[in-house]
Chain A
Amino acid sequence: MQNNHINMYYEKEFSLPLILIFIIASIITMTVGNVFAAEQASGSRSDLTGLNIEQLMDIEVATVYGASKFEQTVLEAPSSISIVTASDIKQYGYRTLADILKSIRGFYTTYDRNYDYIGIRGFSRPGDYNSRVLLLIDGHRVNDNIYGTASIGTDFILDVDLIERVEIVRGPGSSLYGTNAFFGIINVITRNGRDIKGMEVSGEGASFGTYKGRMTYGNQFKNGLNMLLSASAYDSKGQSLYYKEFDTPDQNNGRTDGCDYDKYKSLFGKISLRDVVVEGAFITRQKGIPTSSWGTQFNESGSKTTDNLGYVDVKYERNFEDKFDVMARFHYNRYKYEGTYVSTPVNKDSALGEWWGGELKLGKTFFEKHRMIFGIEYQDNIKQNQENYFINPDFTAMDDRRTSMNWGVYLQDEFTILENLTLNAGVRHDHYQTFGGTTNPRIALIYNPFDTAFIKLIYGEAFRAPNAFEYYYHDGNVTTKSNKNLSPETIKTYELVYEQYFRNQLRLTASGFYYKIKDLISQQIDPADGLLAFNNVEEVEAKGLEFELGRKWKNGFEGRISYTLQETKNLDTGRLLSNSPKNMGKLNMICPLINKKLSAGLELQYTGAKTTINNNNAGGFLTGNLTLFSKDFYKGIEASASVYNIFDRAYNDPGGPEHVQNKIEQNGRSFRLKITYRF
C-alpha cells in the first residue's frame, strides 16, 4: 500500500506540469513558425541550386506505402501515420524495433525480460504476443501462424541498422490486409544495396556485457542488379536482478545470476533485377528467463526460450504502360519456438509453424477519378504443431498437429469526388478453414479545405482470427483445455484526424478516436470443469485524443512533441483495462552541434500510471535517452555514444499472469558505443 501511495503521488505531480510544458512548447514552436512564415513572405528565399546532388538527396518530402497499398503522401492516406527513417535510427541510437515504437505518438511497449509487447490505443493484453498488430517487412507479413507474434525486441527478424524507414499506420487495416491488422500496421522498408555500394561493418558494445557486430555488403551493378547481404550477431550477458518475491535464503536471497542472457544471430538478403525482388531473412534468438515465470525454479539459467523465424519472398511488380499495375508475391515461412522451463520435472514447450502463400494485386485508374486496387491472397499453413512434454519423469501433455488454410479477396477505390475531396473505400472478405468467413470494410473521407490542411473522417472494421495457440493449446486437461469453437475478435473504429503541414516544415496533427471491440479472446476458467480455456468473452471500449506538433529546420535541427489522452474500459466489468496508461507524452529532438558532422538526439517519454493485472498501481514514469552521433569526421566512419534512461529512473512494467511478480523492474541508466565503417 505504501508503494501505491508513492506512485499515486508521482502521477499527480507529473501530469499537470507535463501538460503545461507541452502547451508552452507547442505555442513556442507555433510562434516561431509564424515569424518565419512572415519572413518568407517578405521574400528571403533560399537558393537550393547551391546544393550538390548528394545534399539534395537528403532533403525530405513525405510519402507512405502501407496505408493503401500504393505510394501516396502521408496527408492523402486514409489513416494517421508516423514515419521513422534510417537517419532517426542512427541519431536517436535505436537498438530494437521496440525502441523505435516507444518514440511514436500513442505507442508504448512493455518488457517482461523475455519478450517485448506493443501497447497501442491503450491496449496491451497479458498473454498477447503482439498478434493485434500486423508487422510487415517490405510488404511481407511476418506474424507467425501459431501465436500471431509480431516480434519487436531482440527477436525482431531484421537488424534495425538495415531499415530504410518504418511506416506506422494507426487504425484497422483488415480491409486490405486481413487478420492481425487490428489496431495498426507496422511496415518496415529495408535499405537498398545501391545506397551502400560496398561493405559496411559495424560494431557496438553496451552495458550489461552486451556486444553486437554486423557485416553488410550492398551494390548495384551496371545491368541494374541490386543486391544486399547482411549478417548480424548479438550477445548480451544481462544483469543480475533482485526480486523481493523470491527473497529467501534457499533462493539466493531473491537474486538471479546469469539468467538474463540474450543472444541472436540474424541474416538478411535482398536481390532485385528489373521487376523481380527476391528477399530472405532468418533469425535465431535465445533468451534466458530471469523472472522465474510459469512457476519455474528461481535463479535457474537453464530456463530459456529460443525463437527461430525465417522467410523467403519473391515479388514481381510491374507497371504495364497506361493499362494497369501488377504485383504478384509468393513466399515460404518457417517459425520454431522451443521453451525450456526448469522445475521438477523439466517442462519443454515447443511449436513449429510452416506456411506458404501468395498474393496477386492489380491496380488501375479509371476515368482519372477512380484509383482502384483489386487483390487476392492465399495462405496454406502446412504445419501448426504444438508440443508440451515433461522430462524425468517423461510425460507428454500435448502433441497437437494441425494444418489449415485461409484466403482473402479485397477491393479498394480511391475516388476523387472533387479536387479537394477524396473518398477512400475498401472491403475485404476472408475465409478461414477454421471458423468460416468475415468481411471487413473501411471508408475514409479526406477533405482538403485549404492549402496543406487535411481533415480525415475514417470508419473501419477489422478482425483477428483466433490463432492455433488459442484454439488448440492444452496441458493434457490438467489446468488448461482447448476450445475449437472460437470466433474471430472484431473491432469497429471511428476516427477523426486533422493534419496540417505549414510551408515552413511545421506539421500539426490532432486526432480523436473511438474503438469498440467485441468477442475479445481471453483465457477464462470454465465453471463446468474448473479448467482454463480461451473464449470470446470480453467487450472493450477505447477512446482517446492525440496531439502532435513537429518541425524541421534546414540546418538539421528538428523536434516533435506529442500528447495522448486515452481510456480503455472493459464494458462487462466497467473496469479500466490493465497495462493501459491514461496519459502519455513524448518529446524528440535532433540538434546539430558541429556542422552536419555531430548531432545530439534527445528523447523524453512520459508514460502515465497503469494498473497491473491484479489492480495494483504501476506508477507513471518519465525516461529520457540521449545519443551523440557523428559522421564523416573520418571518411566512411559513423560513431555514436548513447545513454538510455539518463535520469536512472526506476520504473516497472506490469507482468502477465505467468509471473509471480506483479511488476517487473526495467533497466536503469545504461550506455552504448557504436562504430560503423563503410568502404
Chain B
Amino acid sequence: MFYRLLIFPVFFIVIANPFYINAETLKFDEYEVKAAFIYNFIKFIEWPDELPKNRPVPINLYVLGYDPFGKALGSLQGKQIRGRTINIKRAGSPKGLINCHILFISSSEKQHIPEILRSIKGLNTLTISDTAGFAKKGIIVNFYTEGEKVRFEINLDAAKRANLTISSKLLGLAKIVRDSQSIGEN
C-alpha cells in the first residue's frame, strides 16, 4: 500500500516537471486576457472608414476613466492588424473625442453612461466595458465572467447605431442583448 501511495508524488514530480521547465508557464491576468480579446475583436469588426480605396488609417483605442488594464493594454500599442496600427490613448473626458474607433469605458464611469454615449454619438465607435448591465445601457461589447471564464455580450442595437459591421462568427460566440426599453428611442 505504501508504495502505491508513492506513485503519485513521483508522478507529480516526474510528469509535471518537464512541462513547466520547458513551457512558458506564466500567469493569466484577467486584464491581459481582456486586452487580448479586444485585439481579437478588431479582426471581426468593420468600421465605416475602412473603404477599400482608402489608405489604412490607425485604429485609436481610448480608455475612459480609471484604467484597470495596468500594462496589459500597452502591449497592444503599435501592433499591426489588417494593415492598421493600434494606438492606445487615455481620455480624460468623452467630449472632443475624434477618430475614436474603440472606447473602453471603465466601471468608474457607471454614473455617466448616458452622457458618454451622447457625446460620442455618430462617431462609429466600438464601445467596450466590463460592468454588469452596461450592454443594456447601450455599450456594444460588455465583458462578464461565467464560471471562471471571460465571456462577452454584444448589444446589436448599439452596434447598428454605431454603424459597425460585426462578423457572424463573433456574434456566435457572444451573448446577444438588446437595449432596455428606457434607452430604446435613443
Binding site for B on A (CB under 8 A): 10, 13-14, 17-18, 21, 24-25, 28-29, 32, 36, 40, 44-49, 51-54, 56-63, 71, 83, 85-86, 164-165, 189, 192, 194, 197, 220, 222-224, 226, 274, 318-319, 321-322, 503-505, 553-555, 557, 559, 587, 589, 591, 602, 604, 622, 647
Contact call A591/B35, Cβ cutoff below 8 A: no
Is there an interface contact between A49 and B182, defined as CB atoms closer than 8 Å?
no
* Most chain B CB neighbours (cut-off 10 Å) among A14, A58, A189, A319: A319
Say yes or no: A503 contacts B27, CB within 8 Å.
yes
Neighbouring B residues of A28 by C-beta, 8 Å? 9, 12-13
Residues of B within 8 A of A32 (CB): 16-17, 20
- In the complex, chain B residues whose CB is within 8 Å of the CB of A51: 36, 40
- CB–CB B25/A647 < 8 A: no
Q: Are A48 and B36 neighbours in the complex by a CB distance under 8 Å?
A: yes
B148 with A63: CB separation less than 8 A: yes
Chain A residues with CB under 8 A of B11: 589, 602
> Interface segment, B45-53, B58-66, B93-101, B131-139?
B131-139
Can you report 21 A-B residue pairs in the complex whose CB atoms are below 8 A from each other? A13-B2, A14-B5, A24-B9, A25-B9, A28-B9, A40-B27, A48-B28, A48-B32, A48-B33, A53-B37, A56-B36, A61-B30, A61-B145, A63-B148, A223-B176, A557-B20, A589-B11, A589-B16, A591-B16, A604-B5, A604-B8
Q: Compute how far the CA of A23 lies from the CA of B79 in the bound complex, rounded to whole angstroms.
A: 46
The answer, yes or no, to whether B116 is at the interface (CB within 8 Å) is no
Kindly state the separation between the CA atoms of A321 and B131 in the bound complex, as whole angstroms: 12
Residues 110-125 of B, flagged 1 when their CB comes within 8 A of A and 0 if not, give: 1100000000000000
- Expressed in whole angstroms, the Cα–Cα distance for A46 and B8 within the complex equals 30
- Write the chain A residue with the least CB distance to B133: A319
With a cutoff of 8 Å between Cβ atoms, the chain A residues found around residue B37 in the complex are 53, 56
What B residues does A13 contact at CB under 8 A? Answer: 1-2
Interface assignment of B151: CB less than 8 Å from any CB of chain A = yes
Which secondary structure dominates chain B's binding surface?
helix
Is B69 interfacial (CB 8 A cutoff)?
A: no
Q: Tell me which residues across on chain A come within 8 A of B40, comparing CB atoms.
A: 49, 51-53, 56
Cβ-defined partner of B147 (8 Å) among A47, A56, A189, A557: A189
B75 on interface, CB distance cutoff 8 Å:
yes
Q: Find B36's partner among A49, A62, A553 (CB 8 Å cutoff).
A: A49
- Complex contacts, B90 vs chain A, CB 8 Å: none
Alpha-carbon gap, A85 to B145, bound state (A): 14
Q: Are A49 and B145 in contact (CB under 8 A)?
A: no
| A224-B177, A555-B19 known; A49+B146 contact, CB < 8 A | no
| B positions within 8 Å CB-CB of A | 1-2, 4-6, 8-9, 11-13, 15-17, 19-20, 23-30, 32-33, 35-37, 39-40, 75-76, 79, 110-111, 132-133, 136-137, 145-151, 170, 172-173, 175-178, 180, 182
- Identify the closest chain B residue to A226 (Cβ): B175
Bound state CA distance, A59 and B9, in angstroms?
27
Contact (Cβ within 8 A) A164 B147: yes
A589 to B9, CA, bound (A): 11
B20 and A83 contact, CB distance less than 8 A:
no
Taken together as a complex, chains A and B put the C-alpha atoms of A226 and B172 apart, in Å, by: 12
Is there an interface contact between B8 and A21, defined as CB atoms closer than 8 Å? yes
**Interchain CB contact under 8 A, B9 and A553:** no
**Would A197 and B176 be within 8 Å (CB), given that A49-B79, A554-B28, A622-B5 are in contact?**
no
Pick from A17, A62, A165: contact of B2, CB under 8 Å: A17
Which B residue's beta carbon lies closest to that of A167? B147
Assess whether B23 is in contact with A555, with CB atoms less than 8 Å apart. yes
Given contacts A49-B39, A53-B37, A559-B16, contact A58 B23 (CB under 8 A): no
Chain B nearest CB: distance from A612 CB in Å? 22
Give every chain A residue within 8 A of B9 (Cβ-Cβ).
21, 24-25, 28
Q: With a CB–CB cut-off of 8 A, which chain B residues contact A57?
A: 149-151, 173
- Report the nearest B residue to A18, measured CB to CB: B5
Residues of A within 8 A of B13 (CB): 28
Q: Which residues of A contact B149 (CB under 8 A)?
A: 57-61
* B13, B25, B28, B32 interface centre (most CB from chain A within 10 Å): B25
B110 touches A322 (CB 8 A): yes
Does the CB pair B27–A504 fall under 8 Å? yes
Whether the Cβ atoms of B5 and A505 lie closer than 8 Å is no
Which residue of B24, B33, B76 contacts A56 across the interface (Cβ within 8 Å)?
B33
> Nearest-CB distance from A448 to chain B (Å)?
16
- A49 contact set on B, CB distance < 8 A: 35-36, 39-40, 75-76, 79
Chain B residues with Cβ below 8 Å from A48 are 28, 32-33, 35-36
Docked CA distance A398–B147 (Å): 47
3 residue pairs, one from A and one from B, having the closest CB atoms: A319-B133, A60-B148, A48-B36
Q: How far is the CB of A189 from chain B (nearest CB, A)?
A: 7
Q: How far does the alpha carbon of A51 sit from the alpha carbon of B35 in the complex, in Å?
A: 11
Residues of A within 8 A of B29 (CB): 503
Contact of A220 among B15, B28, B176, B182 (CB under 8 A): B176
| A505 in complex: contacting residue of B12, B28, B75, B137, CB < 8 Å | B28
Highest count of chain B CB atoms <10 Å: which of A29, A40, A49? A49
